Chains A and B, each alone.
Chain A
């Protein structure tokens, strides 16, 4: 434990009104082979936390992660409160202090290095802030929040604060600190009968020396963690008061609608602005390098005027690119199936294909900006405020310290709002610059969103496997395109020969991180192929996997649990089947069994999904369950329906009509179970995604004998033979 102390520092001070403030910042190096968000960030993690205790005995926890629907702030607050021995009913997270600049409520303040909230601006060591600014990233993604910030920041801050409160009480009462007990936001000394609230002790606590290595609680004594407290953000999400970037307004603000070059990399060649110029409410048609924007006094008017324009864009030389040309290049790059041992009694090969996918967050991309001289304000919903701010500064050619970014609740993230994919911030600030100093809100339509995403990459994989006469696997090899990493291609099975080799086939479609990243394609590839090997061996797919997991107890336990939950092996009516898959991502093992029913005509119904998850330990039980449910639905929509195709270099799909999502009628029953292991905390936002598609396709095979090797499933007729 105490990994944080290697390169961490803690700062304490008092806040206005006699409270207590504690901050922890630290750099730490990712302890495992798991990458965080990108090649650049792979070796690093960052975290910082702030705790304040005010005289009214309220603990405020300021959280450096955005709320994108995962309950992250609640889970992180629980981790700090647990170590602090706080009374949970007296804990607040990310709620705005009653000061003007916070008055809008529910806004998660961007904690950029140059922007320190006034609340912290008195007598405080700014070290943690500076550290974070140097690092330049403040990411919520890669399932890092709880296992990084929480484990190494929140817990430590909570524990340190508790020790300082105890020290303050001991000093005040002139008793040994070891005789004082902290519990329920109070410190008590049994022998003397003395007791004081944290609020009463806060001012004195702030003057105590900061423990460099506070003791963390034994998990057996957790009272807040592992429970299901109500999430702090939910009340605002049932009455319309939650503030998303699209809801922000500022006096005098105008609205912009965008047409972006339909082929990525294309430029605006020409546009006759006259049809728009005279339309009601239009203030200006702004020509940008790769887009044209109409700025008007309402978004609808801006959009209507934009529709009257016929901008011409170049195609950057990619006008001949299509889905077919990309997959043809994949096919060629993959070459012949990988070679197999000569001694094999039986061999098999299979190709799998996964399409490009859009994130389609429910809230489209939005950026409001006000550029005034050498100063700029930006309001947007991002998974990394610091990187977004630097994108804005670069686009405007301003010093980053002169740019302030305010972050909001996100109407979905899924990887769309991560570093290096802030085109909506880049475009938004350039539109505002053209209207300077008037603030402009640029709203992407759903069409903009679907057609200008950073897509989950298309990929193809060519597998070859060999079995001996007993059906024992001898080799499982694959060549793949579309990128991979050691985590995504890793197979936990004990097979004598295993290799996965990347083959390059470049294409111009821009890609980004999509919930579970490369695991989303590779989970489908590898867990489909192992299933095909099981059937080729004439063995039950669950037993076959289990027999190969002797050296992987976590995988084995998850697999067995999911199978047991689903009643694996019990008979099903004709046309029904179960499929199983197990994947490891972001430190978490997730096994899923999918139960399907397929009508004789080929109508597919997903009946039930069972998930057994080992993420080490669960911080917030109901929140983790919700993440599993959500991840399964997200993956199911993609597996069944989703495909972005390319024609003449452009994305063909435009909106939810041709990029459809499942509805409640298609949603299966979902049963989840968590396995507690000794492993370090794993992520929860992403790991439920990868096993879903293979388990589903394996179930379809069990039900129909049809092997689906290409996603989405709707492309394969499932009519039973």
Chain B
């Protein structure tokens, strides 16, 4: 029985094993390679995508659990009007180094900010457990705070 899911607004019918992790279906079956493989055991966050708006580590999420749901990947994060605020802040702060962890990092941060628009440092520490071997954490934190502050200004005005 094919599994249907929506990825970045587009419906897909996938005729693969229901236990195949979402990560490999996205990368190899659908061809969206922005989502990365880092560990396969939910320990690094490189494979983070949004499932109905919530962050999930797609390397351990069986396709069956995504059936009928809506998936957003890094390729679908940009809005009609251009890059999302997180992506823009990532460029402004020159966050990525090798960049390999950053798809997952950006997706995790976007989800964190959706849940907690003005996170404290403690919120960031508790909510973000992605690994970055290049060590971009200081810039990740600075970029998050800048986004939080500018959204606060917008809603104040």
Contacts and interface: CB of A to CB of B under 8 A. Distances in A.
Interface of A: 68-71, 230-231, 233-244, 246-247, 249, 255, 280, 298-301, 360-364, 409-414, 443, 445-446, 622, 626, 629-634, 636-637, 655-657, 661, 663-665, 667, 669-670
A629 B17 contact: no
Given A238-B96, A636-B135, A656-B44, 11 more contacts: A68-B98, A71-B97, A234-B95, A237-B90, A238-B87, A255-B28, A300-B28, A301-B17, A412-B133, A663-B128, A665-B128
B97 A664 contact: no
Question: 10 smallest A-B Cβ distances: which pairs?
Answer: A240-B34, A633-B135, A69-B98, A411-B100, A237-B99, A69-B97, A665-B125, A240-B74, A667-B137, A630-B135
Contact of A656 (B27, B28, B75, B131): B131
A667 B137 CA distance: 7
A230 B90 CA distance: 11
Interface string B66-97: 00000001110110000100010011001111
A611 to B, nearest CB: 12
A234 B95 CA distance: 8
Contact of A360 (B95, B98, B133): B133
Given A300-B21, A633-B137, A656 B43 contact: yes
B12 to A, nearest CB: 15
Contacts of A233: 96, 99
B83 A238 contact: yes
Contact of A629 (B20, B102, B128, B139): B139
B62 to A, nearest CB: 11
B140 interface: yes
Contacts of A239: 34, 74-75, 77-78, 83, 87
Interface residues of B, number: 59
Interface in B97-154: 97-103, 106, 124-126, 128-141
B101 to A, nearest CB: 5
B9 interface: no
27 contacts: A69-B96, A234-B90, A236-B99, A238-B87, A238-B95, A238-B102, A240-B35, A242-B99, A299-B28, A360-B133, A362-B46, A362-B98, A362-B132, A363-B100, A411-B99, A446-B39, A622-B94, A631-B135, A656-B131, A663-B125, A663-B130, A663-B137, A664-B125, A665-B125, A665-B129, A667-B138, A667-B141
Among A233, A239, A669, chain B packs the most CB atoms within 10 A around the CB of A239
Given A238-B90, A665-B125, A249 B31 contact: yes
A7 to B, nearest CB: 34
A519 B43 CA distance: 30
Interface in B15-50: 16-17, 20-21, 24, 27-29, 31-41, 43-44, 46
Contact of A634 (B35, B106, B133): B133
B91 A230 contact: yes
Contacts of A636: 135
A664 B119 CA distance: 14
Interface of B: 16-17, 20-21, 24, 27-29, 31-41, 43-44, 46, 73-75, 77-78, 83, 87, 90-91, 94-103, 106, 124-126, 128-141
A244 B99 CA distance: 10
Contacts of A446: 38-41
B19 to A, nearest CB: 9
B110 to A, nearest CB: 11
A313 to B, nearest CB: 22
B4 to A, nearest CB: 19
Contacts of A70: 97
Nearest to A443: B37
Nearest to A241: B34
Nearest to B35: A240
B29 A298 contact: yes
Contact of A234 (B33, B41, B96): B96
A239 B87 CA distance: 7
A623 B100 CA distance: 17
Contacts of B94: 230-231, 234, 622, 626
A115 B76 CA distance: 37
A414 B101 CA distance: 15
A634 B59 CA distance: 25
A665 B140 CA distance: 12
A655 B28 contact: no
Contacts of A409: 98-99
A288 B64 CA distance: 35
A667 B142 CA distance: 13
A247 B103 CA distance: 13
A664 B141 contact: yes
Among B16, B74, B98, chain A packs the most CB atoms within 10 A around the CB of B98
A633 B101 CA distance: 15
Contacts of A667: 135, 137-138, 141
A684 B44 CA distance: 27
A240 B124 CA distance: 23
B74 to A, nearest CB: 4
